[in-house]
Structure 1
């Protein structure tokens, strides 16, 4: 543990103007407040905040951050309050300590909610000051270093899983790769002890057999570059055990099949030397095609810059090489922490990187803790690709992204309005996966409504969150509209006039806040016609016929955007319904109307595409469903009853397969629009008779 004078000397070594008295006071304050508290290791508790502060000095962070590290557990674990911190150390320190402090109620939450609430708190605090995250990452790293002292193995695994899912990705996203690698290694040891033991054992065996092989290769690389007149530093190491295990799992290969377990780093003086060194290495040894990446011209979202290549060394040995300048190396290892060094003085850098702004936006759209955690993981922890707008603006996206993900990355409003895309100048379906370097042009429509089935193919957290938010609002509005129509139908059949007084009384009887809540409950079928009638006029339900129900009038199918007299048909490959974005593809004299994300559009990409929209008076179309039922008596009847409850007809039903456990059926049903279809699918999925229900 660092002594008081040692900590002060560390800070003064890089910041001669640091307030020595304030640092001493913070050290003594944490010592006194934690008093006789002990850690699981048997060490005094105050050793933990002191070590965290030491980690902050390694990053050469300002004295406010050092003091925050010293005090970060005082409010949570002692009688100290935020007001005490502010009175003794000022508002800036108090704000940062408050941002790092865990809420006590988090510990009593279910695991996923606890993790999500923890993440929510840190993201909100980080939105104001990134130093909150830097202290928290150091706090978690030191806790992981002492994790083996905790006796409960289940608790060790829980902490390790949280570290792997949240804190290591956060460290990676702010570019703190040293923290990320050590966290992953320590968590890997707890989560996969057998794999950890096997891989570290094999690496030790290779080291003993190969002797100084890593040093020998590093020397050969340095000599080759020196002969070309380049002054460089070269270091080598075996790949990270967790990285090896991850590659083995992803590629389904054994340890022996992993050929590139050695990695080397070349540090140069200038970016020009980086490219010069790359040319020398590629002339000296054969490069492996497809393994070269230029993160200098196109940095990662966390600011990481380097050249990556892989080569075949002697005896067919594969090695990886990273080439960067000294400045790049410091930023790469410590990421955004490098920008918080003492040299910043009174000027605070922007605490929100682009990915962090997306996460803050996700906070506002997540419906519950699990959804927040899902979206945040997507935003933090995915491999990236690069795509360009037609004007050359660069966007980084998760691997597997589509034009919809791209549109939401540019702006939420553009994502909502997307109806089509041109990829490298060619019309392509919205579900097309983008490749590195694609130029993407988003085609906008007039109405801003994301589609439900986009959730089947978008991969970015920002897109998923925005789509779900829009769909929830759209579904609510549609349910209120449907509920209003049902309500009007019910009161029209009443033997007496229903006024505002009867409506207000019904709201009280049903325990609903207002008229909108009533219409929503009716539209979602939480309140039936009989229950509504009884609430409006107590005792009247018994006088109504049993088969009395509301049915919306049916109208013809019409679309806008075609010349008068043009024949068209709704494509049987995708069965578009009102509410789907639609596009026409000319086929001879007629037009096939497809949903905008229909897979077969790729086959028609060379034909003429016509932007279409549903006519406002269109009400109804056919939709195709696939439903798997449990194979037991009554399930088919229960399923068909659900269609009646949701006011739709089955026009075609066929059994696709059946065995002892399940039966699978395909059907065509009449629906009013996309919201009506969504209600039907939701009702099917909620039924105990149904295993799975999907639109085809």
Structure 2
């Protein structure tokens, strides 16, 4: 039996004290004497409350809240109150301490934040709707104190940094939820560095091989990159010194996740991603001279290097909705390389790094107003009783990461909307009633339909009619969560009116059968007609989708109706004897034919891919790659339906996968490629699509392979052909 190493209590005590002192050092410039006492008390209470608890890694649990507090202070720029809350964030949920204890020692404000944090704990719930409801609760706390959500993001960041000891299934769930919700939320609140780290850490677990490969290549090219940055910035520094400007200038690599995104969206290799790093110039400038000084630096940079006119981004004149201010340009540097340059002031940089927290320091400007507007809209959405949690989550999520456009009213007032917003979205931005009655719009004095997509700089005049009312078709093109929420509410209200008539019809029918319309009879009817709610049942009765004559086929016993058995056609569901609640390991081997499974068409997994099983409603288990485009959403929303999956002994099965091949067009190139596939490797092809334009060859080849080893061998062989520039596996 293995021996458990003895715990060195003195060493652990020193480690805990070191973490606490680090936190104190981070707060030394802002903390008052009374706050220092409160912080010490919070530390002692948490230390006592968590004394017998350990994390999966084996370290004392108290290290976790202390490091969350450090993130809150050092990386988010919050104060001692937030640090106290971060230290105490798990005590009410995990220990004997109560909210009353917290309130007695630290006051109502701290107790309220801890209450908010306790309400939104327990991420992995049993059903998707509870999981979404949990996130909805998290956002409700925005209405009271935004620090709740900031501490929750810090908590998630520390968990992501220390997840190596967790089981693989839990790593996948947490990483997927982080990519799906927490990274976009950090982005929306302006925490760019935290957003990037959350994305990188999420990728580390969902696409570990790709993550390691890009990290290795970044490390290998670090020295050459540093030399290039020094060479590029030298003339800029000389000119800034001549102008007597106070500044900092440095180059930083792009995040692994953003590099991978570029590789995927542009179908290029790591070596072909030209902007692996960005140069940042931060100037020390008084607020009344900020704009002029930033443009002065811009003119210096563009005098030295030729700019790409399509890559100028001016977020100084019009900041992003989350408060981000900066001037971005891309210029042609030495040796024919494009380089992104970001220009901002010390104040702008603090807002870019510390996000929402910095707005308490700089309480002015359009950025602050737009954040307030966003928070107000979230509160409005959350107050809508008709908005179920999953709908809310989808609509909220869709607006988190979207780029923005700037459009104007006829009077010249600026409105910021998500990219791809329509004329109807704009109408709802003006007022709910304007949206309800909108029949069209004039964009730049030209008549357009409701679904017309707006562009930057458009001037929009809304046309209304009192006869117009919301239409279900609108949901097909509306973009903003505000507009979608309002339309859903109006449609539901209209549905209620129709359903009232349906209810009367059902009541009369039940009365004629001398039966009560009570909960039990309603449940039997809803089950028989497959209706999720009584509202849907009544609505379909009034619309004649449900024929009440069917009731003559029901049995009546003691005031109860018993529905006849229906023979539903369709695919069978999973045998519950094969997949049980605690079965988290599915093995593909000789037994696999006893379990209904199929390979997901969205990612076409093959033997050797890192995969997971997903229990569907009526198609058995679908097998997805962990880096499938849909994996993040499936695992974050429906994590309880995922089953751990691995390949074992396979029968000789061929799996369909796709390759995208580009190269220099040359006579006989297609023959060379097909010869490698069919001749050298004896593989079957399902199809190929080829084309050439201006001397560039592009082809898509659908091929049957046995496993990832065979696929990698094929990619290597095709890449070896001198005319070929890239071979990539098609993700979908």
Cα 1:517–1:320 change in 2 (3 A) is closer
1:523 equivalenced with 2:539 (yes/no): no
Length-normalised TM-score, structure 2: 0.66
SS of structure 1 residue aligned to 2:93: helix
Query: What are the equivalent positions in structure 2 for 1:32-181 lying under 5 Å apart?
Result: 32-58=48-74, 59-102=76-119, 107-110=124-127, 112-150=128-166, 152-181=167-196
Identify which of 237, 242, 249 aligns with 1:234: 249
Map 1:456-605; keep pairs closer than 5 Å: 456-481=476-501, 507=517, 511=521, 520=539, 522-525=541-544, 528-530=547-549
1:108 aligned counterpart, secondary structure: coil
Query: Do 2:30 and 2:79's aligned partners in 1 also have CA atoms closer than 8 Å?
Result: no
Residue 4 of structure 1 and its aligned partner are, at CA, apart by: 3.9
Question: Partner of 1:223 in structure 2?
Answer: 238
| Aligned match of 2:621 | none
Superposed displacement of residue 517, structure 1 = 9.3
How far apart, in 2, do the equivalents of 1:147 and 1:405 lie? 41
Partner Cα distance (1:516, 1:148) in 2:
47
**CA-to-partner distance for each residue in 1:535-569, whole Å, 9 max, x for gaps?**
9x99xxxxxxxxxxxxxxxxxxxxxxxxxxxxxxx
Aligned counterpart in structure 1 of residue 405 of structure 2, from 365, 379, 385: 385
The number of aligned residues is 520
**Whole-angstrom CA distance in 1 between matches of 2:154 and 2:516:** 58
Q: Secondary structure at the match of 1:119?
A: helix
Alignment of 1:191 with 2:206, yes or no, is: yes
- Structure 2: runs of 5+ lacking an equivalent: 1-15, 524-533, 558-732
Max radius of gyration: which structure?
1
**For residues 469 and 180 of structure 1, what CA distance do their matches in structure 2 show?**
33
Matched, 1:455 2:475: yes
Distance 2:39 2:540 in 1: 60
Question: Contact 2:439 / 2:468 at 8 angstroms: preserved in 1?
Answer: no
Kindly state the Cα deviation for residue 352 of structure 1 after the two structures are TM-superposed.
Answer: 6.4
- In structure 2, the CA distance between the partners of 1:249 and 1:516, relative to structure 1 (3 Å rule), is closer
Return the structure number with greater relative CO, CA threshold 8 A, min gap 6: 2
Q: Residues of 1 paired with 2:108 and 2:344: CA distance?
A: 40
Distance of 1:73 and 1:351 partners within structure 2: 33
1:15 and 2:34 matched: no
TM-score by length of 1: 0.69
Residue 434 of structure 1: SS of its match in structure 2?
coil
Partner-residue secondary structure (3-state), 1:149: coil
Classify the secondary structure of the residue corresponding to 1:353: helix
Aligned match of 2:433: 413
Cα offset, 1:380, TM superposition: 1.2
Q: Does 1:443 align with 2:463?
A: yes
Shift of 1:480: 4.2
Distance in 2, matches of 1:104 and 1:223, equals 53
- In the alignment, is the contact (CA less than 8 A) between 1:171 and 1:179 conserved in 2? yes
* Helix, strand or coil at the partner of 2:250: strand
Q: How far apart, in 1, do the equivalents of 2:79 and 2:68 lie?
A: 14
Q: Secondary structure at the match of 2:459?
A: strand
CA pair 113-520 structure 1, distance change in 2 beyond 3 A: closer
**Map of 1:601 onto structure 2:** none
- SS of structure 1 residue aligned to 2:46: helix
Q: Which residue of 2 aligns with 1:617?
A: none
Say whether the 8 Å CA contact 2:232–2:334 is kept in structure 1. no
Displacement of 1:256 after TM fit?
3.0
Say whether the 8 Å CA contact 2:250–2:280 is kept in structure 1: yes
Shift of 1:48: 0.6
- How big is the shift at 1:208? 3.7
Give the corresponding residue for 1:361.
380
**Aligned partners of 1:356 and 1:474: how far apart in 2?**
28
- CA 511–197 in structure 1, closer or farther in 2 if over 3 Å, else same: same
In the TM superposition, what is the alpha-carbon distance from 1:357 to its structure 2 partner? 2.4
SS of 1:13's partner is coil
1:26 deviates by 0.6
| Contact 1:49 1:70 (C-alpha < 8 Å) held by counterparts | yes
